Amino acid sequence: MTGETYPTHEKRRGFKNKVIIGVIVILALLPAIPLFLILINILKEGLRALSPGFLFHLPKPPGEEGGGISNALVGTFFIVGLSVIIGVPISILAGVYLSEYGKDSKLAEVIRISADVLQGVPSIVIGIVAYAWVVRPMGHFSALSGSVALALMMIPVVVRTTEEVLRLVPDILREASLALGVPYWRTVLKVVLPTGMVGVTTGILIAVARIAGETAPLLFTAFGNQFMTWNPMEPMNALPLVIFNYATSPYEDWWRQAWGAAVVLTFMVLGLNVLSRLLARRIAGEK
């Protein structure tokens, strides 16, 4: 290389660097536009629909103006709550098995792969399965079948976080407890689990945030209902169902209400996510 081409070559490299980095920055910032538009649109359209009556009143018949989503709010809390009751004990015990008993065994590995597979199953397929397992034998749609579907979706998340958190509990604690003559099962329940409780709670919150907005598994399980019901054996309404049904309806007032329900659901899900992150940060701080 001669002395003359060296500076031009150098300049070209510098120029190329600037251009490509510039392109990367532009490409990186462009998607922010639609994503922020979505947030702004939800807020703008949603807050217009919000009022105390909207939250505490029952829906009006199709085509009539007004009415609210009180039954869907109750329904979402009910269905999600029931799925937590079904899913969490199974998940925590399975997580305990993986971290305390199974460890690196073949069976534990099979369970981990199964949890990963379950997490990847499309939510609409979970809905079909819950239909076959609960709705068909019962003969009608029900909140319970919706909860079973959502529980199936939360199990893999809670199993894996429980395992990860319990594995972080130092063995010294287990040994100290065992040395005091506490049997292993009580050590797990009274020492290991309470130590990892914040982490397990974080996992549950993440799972709840994930399932609270799920619509597809509820379409042919909880189904929806225009009335208030507290009976898990009956069809029940939920916020995601309201958003879907109202958005695809021909009534303008229902579109407005779909946005209202969307802003409520967004705040719920974002709130749960922020809360789980704050908890996760607390664990990281403790270490």
- Shortest CB 206 distance to another protein, Å: 9
Q: Count Cβ neighbours within 10 Å for each residue of 246-274 and write b for 16 or more, e otherwise.
A: beeeeeebbbbbbbbbbbbbbebbeebee
Radius of gyration of the chain (CA): 25
Interacting residue with another protein among 60, 273, 280, 283 (CB under 8 A): 273
What's the 3-state SS for the chain? CCCCHHHHHHHHHHHHHHHHHHHHHHHHHCCHHHHHHHHHHHHHHHHHHCCHHHHHCCECCCCCCCECCHHHHHHHHHHHHHHHHHHHHHHHHHHHHHHHHHCCCHHHHHHHHHHHHHHHCCHHHHHHHHHHHHHHHHCCCCHHHHHHHHHHHHHHHHHHHHHHHHHHCCHHHHHHHHHCCCCHHHHHHHHHHHHCHHHHHHHHHHHHHHHHCCCHHHHCCCECCCCCCCCCCCCECCHHHHHHHHHCCCCHHHHHHHHHHHHHHHHHHHHHHHHHHHHHHHHHHHC
The answer to whether 150 and 217 have CB atoms below 8 angstroms apart is yes
Interacting residue with another protein among 6, 56, 184, 230 (CB under 8 A): 184
Closest to another protein by CB, 125 or 230: 125
Closest to another protein by CB, 6 or 230: 6
- Shortest CB 268 distance to another protein, Å: 10
Interacting residue with another protein among 72, 79, 134, 152 (CB under 8 A): 152
Contact string 40-69 vs another protein (x = CB under 8 A): -xx--x------------------------
Q: At what angle do helices 252-286 and 239-247 cross, to 10 degrees?
A: 140
- Shortest CB 94 distance to another protein, Å: 4
* Segment interacting with another protein (CB under 8 A) among 11-19, 57-65, 68-76, 165-173: 11-19
Closest to another protein by CB, 79 or 212: 212
- Shortest CB 156 distance to another protein, Å: 7
Closest to another protein by CB, 30 or 172: 30
Binders in 88-127 for another protein, by CB under 8 A: 89-91, 93-94, 96-98, 100-102, 107-108, 110-111, 113-127
Interacting residue with another protein among 3, 4, 8, 30 (CB under 8 A): 30
| 129 touches another protein (CB under 8 A) | yes
Closest to another protein by CB, 22 or 230: 22
Dist CA 100 CA 94 (whole Å): 10
Closest to another protein by CB, 152 or 236: 152
Binders in 249-268 for another protein, by CB under 8 A: 255, 258-259, 262, 265-266
| 74 touches another protein (CB under 8 A) | no
- Shortest CB 205 distance to another protein, Å: 11
Binders in 209-248 for another protein, by CB under 8 A: 209-210, 212-216, 219-220, 223, 240, 243-244, 247-248
